[in-house]
Amino acid sequence: MPWAEALIAAKTRKIDVGEGRVLSYAEALNEALRTAMEMDPKVFVFGQGVDDPAASFGVTRELQEKFGRERVFDVPLSEEAMTGVCVGSAMSGCRPVMTHNRPDFILLSMNQLVTHAAKIHYMDEGRTRVPMVIWAAIGRGWGSGAQHSQAVQGMLLGVPGLKIVMPSTPADAKGLLLAAIADDNPVLVFEHRWLMREQGVVPEGFYTVPIGKGVYRRRGADLTIAGTSHAIALALDAAEALACEGIDAEVIDLRSVKPLDEAILFESVEKTGKLLVVDTGWAMGGVCAEVACRVAEQRFDALRAPLRRIGLPDVPTPAGHTLEQLYYPNAETIAAQIRAMCA
Amino acid sequence: MRYVYEGQSFSRSEAGDLMPVQLVRLFRDMLRIRRVEEAVEARYHEDQMKTPIHLVIGQEAICVGACSALEHRDLVYAGHRTHGVYLAKGGDLPAMFSEFFCRKNGCAGSRGGSMHLIDQRVGMAGSSAICGGNVPIAAGMGLAAQLLGLERVSACFFGDGAAEEGVIWETLNFAALKRLPSIFVCENNFFSVFTPLFKRQPEGAELWKKAESFGVTAEVVDGTNVLAVHAAARRAVARARSGGGPSFIEARAYRWRGHGGAGDDNHKGYRDPAELTLWQQHCPVERYYEWLLEAGHIAASERESMEREIDAEIAAAYQHAEQSPNPTRADLDTHVYAETGA
């Protein structure tokens, strides 16, 4: 069965059943789109397969039935042009949400995203706005391989004018997508395929999670783990496993990688003196590198151990199962790194 | 000679129902752009306009013919050859010169320069220095007009070089699919920088025919004939406003100057100087003037007073730019991000 690993992980992970209604991550995203479209007729959703039976992991399910073919539509396989269409519609009054099933396809649209969408507000001295959302779900496993599993947030991190959010829980997925749609800038929303079936309490109705604001997922005194998205799920598993060994790790879910919440990072590192950055993308030159660099530049005196990062190695994703297992970090590799840092 | 003029002389029928005053206006708009470009060229060596310019001399009939068919509410998105489109859409000459002089009050606040003129006040939605980059954006503006129920047409201008970018054809496919109220104006001037068309596209493969095969209504016009361009643009605008979908207009006119900068670069040997001489005999401004004169729509004295007015306008715009303040350190990093809701 495809993505059995993800399914097993989702079933075995504890559901954070506090007070309230439980939804899956994909259902929460679907609710975010419905809410935005109900509230604002200028919001529309388009992308490959948004009205097909798979409905982008269920994220776009029944949106077309509810909001019509004009506001929810499938598109030709033309990523660059469709991203340009997204930019143009955003510049003239709409709030488009463009979806990709994988971030790999965003690479076909870099000219529009990096050279146009991100720059136009600045180039018009603040007069023209480009309120658009580019949404994609990072793949992993089941042979996704070198071209269907790329997590490209690191490549886009250095582009002024873009915002990038990467939620890890259903509640944040809904709140950050609503915040992204409400934002007057181009916002990239990177979900993770393995989070789509995660369950969690999700508030009803409209709310937003602030872009650029991290949150503590676990309090601890010995070391700080910071990251986003699926890397947080692994970090939490590792932190729980280490608790019985007497290692008390703090886990910060940054939630946004651009802008970065430096305040929460610095606050935690000042307390623990140790930082491990985790990311779903390549460690080199990406989110891991940037987060670690900022802490090294600005809180060097607080550090009591060298910074460490766990992202992907500087290697393309292999497709075969054995190589895949060796390639990806997991809770055990994260735990091993923490043990070494706390030894 | 490879690229010879194949157009015809002006005919009364091309003028359609245009009133004499409108016919004269087309001339004045072209004359203004020509004199502005010559004035920019004349002072470019002073190095005060620190911006890469791409002069539209020889191609004035395309932007004037097309923009005169649009209304104020309609949007245009230019490529890198922006001056003519901006002025033809009603652009602000002092703001354009200020932009060239890198002043704070340039139409893009000195963040764009010549290649990135933008001015919401006149429907100049923007311009892109990446060939073809403007084209899907203009289509997106057509989509927004459709979704929001606005009676607005979007038009974009790009060259024969841009028409080699895949994004153009992706965009035409989508525009035809959605019947977008968008107009794609291809200014075929036969050159991409120093590279002639025949080195880039197979002989006989005509751009407008390719566009037509995408399901877009397409035609080719003499890009030195303002009446022909205007008539094609009016057909396209009427089609767009009535839900008839997108149009592609290939307008052929020769690039008189080099790709960028001031002056003629024929001495570099990339094209036959006889071509330029031939096309200069079919000057879009002068040939049209002769026709207007012959038809009795204009008098020589009228032209003289127009030239005086335009020259005074240019002098005033230069003075405005030179006396305007430079941006300051505080201007460098503002507006990277929009403040949401502000």
In this structure, the answer to whether residues A192 and A302 fall within a common structural domain is no
| Within a domain: A206 | no
For B333-337, what is the mean pLDDT? 97
B-chain CB neighbours of A182 within 8 Å are 340-341
In this structure, the answer to whether residues A196 and A234 fall within a common structural domain is no
pLDDT (0 to 100) of residue A1: 44
In this structure, the answer to whether residues A246 and A171 fall within a common structural domain is no
CA distances to A174, A177, A194 from A187, in Å: 14, 9, 21
Annotate B209-274 with DSSP letters as a single string: HHHHHTT-EEEEEETT-HHHHHHHHHHHHHHHHTT---EEEEEE----S-SSSSS--GGGSSS-HH
Cβ within 8 Å, pair B336-A70? no
- The region of weakest confidence among A171-180, A306-315, B152-161, B263-272 is B263-272
Choice among A116, A121, A148, A192 that is catalytic: A148
On the question of pLDDT at A3 being above 60, the answer is no
Q: Which residue, chain included where needed, has tokens 């001339």? A: B27
| Within a domain: A222 | yes
- The region of weakest confidence among A29-33, A93-97, B263-267, B324-328 is B263-267
> Which of A145, A177, A201 is a domain's end point?
A201
In this structure, the answer to whether residues A226 and A194 fall within a common structural domain is no
Cβ within 8 Å, pair A85-B137? yes
Angle between helix axes B60-67 and B20-44 (nearest 10 degrees) is 140
> Which of A201, A230, A250 is a domain's end point?
A201
- For chain A, say whether B332 makes contact (Cβ under 8 Å): no
* pLDDT, greater one: A248 or A13: A248
The pLDDT-based confidence of A10 (bands split at 50, 70, 90) is: low
Domain with A41 in it: what CATH number?
3.40.50.970
In this structure, the answer to whether residues A189 and A229 fall within a common structural domain is no
- For chain A, say whether B7 makes contact (Cβ under 8 Å): no
pLDDT (0 to 100) of residue B229: 97
pLDDT (0 to 100) of residue B8: 82
In this structure, the answer to whether residues A196 and A223 fall within a common structural domain is no
Q: Which amino acid is at A307?
A: L
pLDDT (0 to 100) of residue B13: 84
pLDDT (0 to 100) of residue B193: 95
Q: Where are the beta strands (DSSP E) in A113-265?
A: 133-138, 163-165, 187-192, 199-201, 215-218, 223-227, 249-253, 256-258
CA distance B6 to B3: 9
CA distance A255 to A174: 12
Q: Which of residues 177-196 of B touch A (CB under 8 A)?
A: 177
pLDDT (0 to 100) of residue B14: 85
In this structure, the answer to whether residues A152 and A264 fall within a common structural domain is no
pLDDT (0 to 100) of residue A2: 56
The pLDDT-based confidence of A13 (bands split at 50, 70, 90) is: low
On the question of pLDDT at A147 being above 90, the answer is yes
On the question of pLDDT at B208 being above 50, the answer is yes
- For chain A, say whether B173 makes contact (Cβ under 8 Å): yes
pLDDT (0 to 100) of residue A14: 58
Q: Which amino acid is at B21?
A: V
In this structure, the answer to whether residues A287 and A325 fall within a common structural domain is yes
Question: Which chain A residue is nearest to residue B176, measuring alpha carbons?
Answer: A76
| Within a domain: A50 | yes
Could you give the dihedral angle defined by the CA atoms of residues A86, A227, A178 and A213, in that order, rounded to the nearest 10 degrees?
Answer: -110
Q: Which residue, chain included where needed, has tokens 């008098």? A: B299
Q: Give per-residue burial for A14-46: e unless 16+ CB within 10 Å, then b.
A: eeeeeeeeebbbbbbbbbbbbbbbeeeebbbbb
**Complex ipTM:** 0.97
Count up the domains in chain A and report the number. 2
| Within a domain: A1 | no
- For chain A, say whether B139 makes contact (Cβ under 8 Å): yes
Mutate to test the interface with B, among A46, A115, A122, A185 (most CBs of B within 10 A): A122
β-bridge pairing B182-188 and B247-252: parallel
Q: Which amino acid is at B334?
A: T
Residue A191 bridge partners (DSSP):
A137
> Which of A138, A167, A201 is a domain's end point?
A201
Q: How many CB pairs under 8 A join A and B?
A: 159
Nearest to B144 among A76, A93, A127 (CB): A93
Average pLDDT, chain A: 95
In this structure, the answer to whether residues A130 and A194 fall within a common structural domain is yes
| Within a domain: A6 | no
pLDDT (0 to 100) of residue B130: 97
Cis peptide before A318 (omega within 30 of 0): no
In this structure, the answer to whether residues A134 and A239 fall within a common structural domain is no
| Within a domain: A326 | yes
Quick one: how far is CA A327 from the chain centroid?
Answer: 20
Cβ within 8 Å, pair B171-A78? yes
pLDDT (0 to 100) of residue B121: 98
- DSSP letter at A117? I
pLDDT in tens, A241-291: 999 999 999 999 999 999 999 999 999 999 999 999 999 999 999 999 999
pLDDT (0 to 100) of residue A6: 63
In this structure, the answer to whether residues A125 and A37 fall within a common structural domain is yes
Cβ within 8 Å, pair B139-A93? no
Is A148 one of the catalytic residues?
yes
| Within a domain: A208 | no
For A227-252, what is the mean pLDDT? 97
For B284-303, what is the mean pLDDT? 97
- For chain A, say whether B111 makes contact (Cβ under 8 Å): yes
The pLDDT-based confidence of B341 (bands split at 50, 70, 90) is: confident
Mutate to test the interface with B, among A75, A82, A89 (most CBs of B within 10 A): A89
Domain with A231 in it: what CATH number?
3.40.50.920
| Within a domain: A207 | no
On the question of pLDDT at A11 being above 80, the answer is no
pLDDT (0 to 100) of residue A16: 55
Q: What whole-number percentage of chain B has pLDDT above 70?
A: 100
Q: Could you tell me if A109 and A102 are in contact, meaning their C-beta atoms sit under 8 angstroms apart?
A: no
pLDDT (0 to 100) of residue A307: 98
Which residue segment(s) compose the domain that A335 sits in?
A: 215-342
The pLDDT-based confidence of A8 (bands split at 50, 70, 90) is: low
Q: What whole-number percentage of chain A has pLDDT above 70?
A: 95
In this structure, the answer to whether residues A196 and A222 fall within a common structural domain is no
Contacts of A310 (CB under 8 A, 6+ apart): A231, A276, A277, A278, A279, A283, A288, A329, A333, A334, A337
- For chain A, say whether B136 makes contact (Cβ under 8 Å): yes
The pLDDT-based confidence of A17 (bands split at 50, 70, 90) is: low
For A283-305, what is the mean pLDDT? 98
Cβ within 8 Å, pair A80-B170? yes
On the question of pLDDT at A15 being above 60, the answer is no
Annotate B104-171 with DSSP letters as a single string: TTSTTTTSS-GGG--BGGGTEEEE-SSTTTHHHHHHHHHHHHHHHT----EEEEEETTGGGSHHHHHH
pLDDT in tens, A154-165: 999 999 999 999
**pTM, entire model:** 0.96
pLDDT (0 to 100) of residue A7: 59
- Burial class, B138, CB count within 10 angstroms (exposed 0-12 / middle 13-18 / buried 19+): buried
Q: Which amino acid is at A50?
A: V
